Amino acid sequence: MVRGSVMSNVRPSMRFKVKKGTFFMPEPNGSVYFRNNSGSFRMEGSTVYQWVEKLIPMLNGEHSLASLTDGLPALYRDRVYEITESLYSNGFLRDVSKDRPHELQPHVVENFASQIEYLESFGDSPAYRFEHYRQQRILAIGEGSMLLSLVSSLLHSGMARFHALITNPEKTNTSRLQELEEAARKTDPDVSIEVLEKQNQGTILWKKQVEPFDAVIYVSKEGNIEELQRITKACKKKGVSFAPGLCLDGIGVAGPFVSPDADSSWDSAWRNIPQSLLNDTHTENSSTGFSMLANVLVFELFKKMTEVNEAHHHDHMFVLNMETLEGRWHSFKPHPLVTKNISTKHVDHILDEKSPSEQRDPNELFYYFSELAASPLGIFQKWEEGALPQLPLAQCEIQVADIHSKGPAEPHPSLIIAGITHEEVRREAGMIGIEQYVQPLKKEILKSIEDQTSAPLHLGAGETLIEATCRALKKLIQYEWKCDTQPQTEHITKVEINEIEDDHCRYYWQALSTMNNIPQLGIGKDGYGFPVMWFKTEGHQWRGCVGLTKTLALREALLLALREAHNDTAAFFDQLPPSSSISFKKEASQTLDVPLCDSESHFEVLHAAKKRLEDHHKKLFPVKVLMDTFEKDRMITICGVSLGEEENR
């Protein structure tokens, strides 16, 4: 039986043709395996291979189903319809009878048969679409051998008439340009290249220059960023598609393809290129590299103009190593300072109700973080364990691009995150990385808040709004505590640990016990009554950690104590300096049981914290931060919180 056959999508008048690249082979169980550019499937049946072997050669676009089945018994006719229906519905056949008419000359169809066959694999009317491509008004801009490579690629793609603007005639072999045109005209008499030259002292009015064209391709082997940006702005203003390619220090880049109907920008890609990707030592660029970049640009133009869905998204850039000639497409995120699409939404009413947690596969978040790190144009320039020791604590290094870099992107100092498991620290490193990335945007975020106050804004990232708010609130109380902490002696209550139910606290405590380095512990409170856990290990001074709950404060204190015992100074990047002005209250001690605190407790922790602030006549003002960089992915929520007087609400 043929899987999925309903004989509802095929009609006798259809003339089917097997798509280019289709491969089929019999399997031992009697089924036939099919594969092409769009996918694969299996057709089952004991005699199906014999049918397919005889039918496939006849599906060449010249015969209708009616003519193929004329004179066949009803059983055989139904079998032909079943097989063609299955092939058609799975994307292995196309109906030639639906092709739109074209006016291509026979010699054009013959010379560019491979281009037309390629289009045939990605839709109907391939010849008509190829004819439409040849009619596009294209302007090629550049100089030297890179412009010559671009012109050659356009001619080989089937583009017959276009304009070439030479930005530096002295560096361009114009006679070679004429030779390319004459050679192409031998097989394609329609070829005509109109050459434009930039005057030595003249300034090009780019808006006027690009206006008559459908698309502009710009290349520069000198990495002329200023000229590229001027052309980009002109094309955007006039609604002209634009594709750039240029050589930088040791690398070549092509794309993104910026079209009027897409929200894409070369500036976003440029701001995401890391400085480390560029080679400080000058590498002589090769003509082969120029040709590769030109071919990539023209192929993307070809796919875009012929409506091939396989064209790379507008948020991709091709990066080529000009020395090894290795290259591939890399994705990048919209840059918030380029799109300028930053907004906020008050969410205090949403946080008042506990919503059911989303059942998301935890691997989805790790896959998302790996995407941010895998691309050299990603937000994460590092997100890895590297050579860091993984005992007694799992560790992960995170380094993000500086969002204020105007290109190429400079990195922030890297941070080392530690915890119990690899999954935990990689997740925490990812969240901290996103928080560090958006931190410099506070000014822009505050501008978007209605009825904004002068109170500092604190940002947190999370999978859910509740988690993001909790993380932002933790930063807020840390900030308030640091501002209120005075250098005078602080009297705290000595703590003796009793029963530990929290997994993190138990692990850290056992590790410190094994090292025979149990810290002295004391507990105090900040100005709003949040617990402050103080600790002191042998040979070190007192340090304090404020938390939303006693468990969270102790968890952070024990983690820092464990890292301090290993002389891990990177652990204290956001902590107060150590203090020698700590003393225990006389004849006062407290036995502490440590309850469990996990991600399911976020809602209760948040509302207990809000109640504590309200008891001190303070009001929490949370907002959800919306920006293109993360909003479209729906993987990360960013929340900002500030503190105000309750009566001011």
CA-CA distance, 561 to 603, in Å (whole number)? 28
CA-CA distance, 604 to 470, in Å (whole number)? 10
| pLDDT > 90? residue 388 | no
| Predicted pLDDT at 2 | 43
All residues at 6 or more sequence positions from 7 whose CB lies less than 8 Å from its CB, including other chains: 78, 81, 82, 85
Mean predicted confidence (pLDDT) in 506-511: 90
CA-CA distance, 614 to 536, in Å (whole number)? 32
Q: How far is CA 245 from CA 83, 322, 537, in A?
A: 46, 13, 58
Question: How would residue 408 be classed by pLDDT, with cut points 50, 70 and 90?
Answer: confident
Q: Tell me the per-residue pLDDT of 37-96, one tens digit each, with 9 for 90 and over.
A: 778 888 887 788 888 888 888 888 888 888 888 888 888 888 888 888 888 888 888 888
Angle at 94 between CA 88 and CA 99, to 5 degrees: 145
Question: How would residue 4 be classed by pLDDT, with cut points 50, 70 and 90?
Answer: very low
Q: Tell me the per-residue pLDDT of 559-598, one tens digit each, with 9 for 90 and over.
A: 988 887 776 665 555 555 556 566 776 666 777 778 887 7
484 DSSP β-pair partners:
none
Mean predicted confidence (pLDDT) in 500-517: 88
CA-CA distance, 642 to 627, in Å (whole number)? 19
The residue assigned the tokens 């929290």 is: 502
Q: Tell me the per-residue pLDDT of 47-63, one tens digit each, with 9 for 90 and over.
A: 888 888 888 888 888 88
| Predicted pLDDT at 570 | 57
At residue 528, φ and ψ (nearest 5 deg) are -110, 10
| Residue type at position 116 | I
CA-CA distance, 61 to 103, in Å (whole number)? 19
E strand or H helix that includes residue 625? strand 618-627
Mean predicted confidence (pLDDT) in 403-409: 86
Buried b (16+ CB within 10 A) or exposed e, 245-260: bbbbebbbbbbbbbbe
| pLDDT > 70? residue 3 | no
At residue 313, φ and ψ (nearest 5 deg) are -60, 165
Q: Are strands 582-594 and 618-627 parallel, antiparallel or unpaired?
A: unpaired
Q: Tell me the per-residue pLDDT of 243-269, one tens digit each, with 9 for 90 and over.
A: 999 988 888 999 898 887 776 678 888
| Residue type at position 207 | K
Question: How would residue 98 be classed by pLDDT, with cut points 50, 70 and 90?
Answer: confident
Give CATH for domain 478-599: 3.30.160
Question: How would residue 279 be classed by pLDDT, with cut points 50, 70 and 90?
Answer: low
Are 510 and 604 in contact by the 8 Å Cβ rule? The answer is: no
Mean predicted confidence (pLDDT) in 133-138: 93
| Predicted pLDDT at 7 | 46
Q: Tell me the per-residue pLDDT of 155-205, one tens digit each, with 9 for 90 and over.
A: 999 999 999 999 888 888 888 999 999 999 998 899 999 988 765 555 678
Rg for the chain (alpha carbons), in Å?
33
Q: Comparing C-alpha atoms, which of 432, 429, 419 is closest to residue 459?
A: 432
Coil/strand/helix, residue 94: strand
E strand or H helix that includes residue 134? helix 126-134
CA-CA distance, 429 to 417, in Å (whole number)? 6
CATH of 136-332, one of 3.40.50.300, 3.40.50.720, 2.60.40.1250, 1.10.600.10: 3.40.50.720
CATH 3.90.930.70: which residues of the chain? 15-98
Question: How would residue 649 be classed by pLDDT, with cut points 50, 70 and 90?
Answer: very low
Q: What is the DSSP string of 240-305?
A: -EEEEEEE-SSEEEE---B-TTS---HHHHHHHSBGGGS-SS--PPPHHHHHHHHHHHHHHHHHHH
| pLDDT > 90? residue 297 | yes
Mean predicted confidence (pLDDT) in 23-34: 84
CATH 3.30.160: which residues of the chain? 478-599
**In this structure, what token pair is assigned to residue 590?**
């407290």
| Predicted pLDDT at 293 | 93
Q: Comparing C-alpha atoms, which of 432, 472, 242 is closest to residue 347?
A: 472
| Residue type at position 394 | A
This model's pTM is above 0.85: no
Angle, nearest 10°, between helix axes 113-120 and 126-134?
120
Residue 70: left if φ>0, alpha if ψ -120 to 50, beta else—which one?
beta
CA-CA distance, 485 to 469, in Å (whole number)? 24
Helix, strand, coil percentages in the chain from 3-state DSSP, rounded to 5: 40, 25, 35
| Predicted pLDDT at 434 | 95
Instruction: Select the highest-mean-pLDDT range: 430-439, 447-456, 510-519, 636-645.
Output: 430-439
Stronger pLDDT, 583 or 458, i.e. the higher one: 458
CA-CA distance, 26 to 448, in Å (whole number)? 63
**In this structure, what token pair is assigned to residue 495?**
């703590």
Q: Average pLDDT, whole number, for the chain?
A: 84
Please name the fold of domain 15-98.
Outer Surface Protein A; domain 3 (3.90.930)
Coil/strand/helix, residue 24: strand
| Predicted pLDDT at 428 | 93
| Termini Cα distance of the chain | 70
CATH 3.40.50.720: which residues of the chain? 136-332
| pLDDT > 80? residue 624 | yes
**In this structure, what token pair is assigned to residue 497?**
């640990």
